[in-house]
Amino acid sequence: VVGTPRSSLVGARGMQDATKACLGLAAAALLGSLYVLVHERRRKLKKEKRKSQSGSGANGGALTKEKLIRILGQSSAAAYQLIEQTRKMVYAKHEQTGIPLDKCVEELQQNFENAMEAVVLQVRKNHGVTEQQMTAAMVANQRDEEVQAALTTLREAMSGKPPPSPPKAATEEEQTPAARLKARRARARRQGNK
């Protein structure tokens, strides 16, 4: 532009650049805010969906007798493993420190109780059931011999008696696909080592 001082052109161009930068920042902030709002909404919907699914369960909140027995069996095995682990810790502490066994047991008792609650909770969580569903299923099946046997096994496991071993699948067809694959890989490794 003729007759315009050079400094005013630089100032106008700088002003345009600053305006573009501000508009760019404003657009980025707007996009960021929109992203956060959408993400928050999705997270809330997911949380509500999980809550409604866990509250109602797959079959309206009812827990089948078979699933109850399976959960009780897994709880028994997990409880017994925890007891054995705790026993080893008590003896190790007794050996290392010379503290009497009963004092070692007292010191580890609170941690053990918390761990036992966590173990049972985790088994229930793995099966997607609540404590209320378990209680309702136990009440509904309180006269069933299999359920009573599973409850007795759990009580005994919590007292330190090993639970019975689950029956092994007799043939490969009765095994789960994962178990069949594991067995095939083990055979292949054994054959490869010969």
- Maximum average pLDDT range among 58-62, 154-158, 164-168: 154-158
27, pLDDT greater than 50: yes
Classify the C-alpha dihedral 180-186-190-193 as positive or negative: positive
Taking residues 153-162, report their average pLDDT: 87
Taking residues 78-91, report their average pLDDT: 89
Q: What is the pLDDT of residue 105?
A: 86
Taking residues 40-66, report their average pLDDT: 70
Encode 26-57: b = buried (16+ Cβ within 10 Å), e = exposed: eeeeeeeeeeeeeeeeeeeeeeeeeeeeeeeb
39, pLDDT greater than 80: no
56, pLDDT greater than 60: no
Question: Residue 148: pLDDT band by 50, 70, 90 thresholds?
Answer: very high
Q: What is the pLDDT of residue 35?
A: 72
Q: What is the pLDDT of residue 162?
A: 86
Question: Residue 66: pLDDT band by 50, 70, 90 thresholds?
Answer: very high
Taking residues 90-113, report their average pLDDT: 87
Taking the whole predicted model, whether its pTM rises above 0.75 is answered as no
Say which residues have a Cβ less than 8 Å from residue 80's Cβ, sequence separation at least 6. Answer: 157, 158, 160, 161, 162, 163
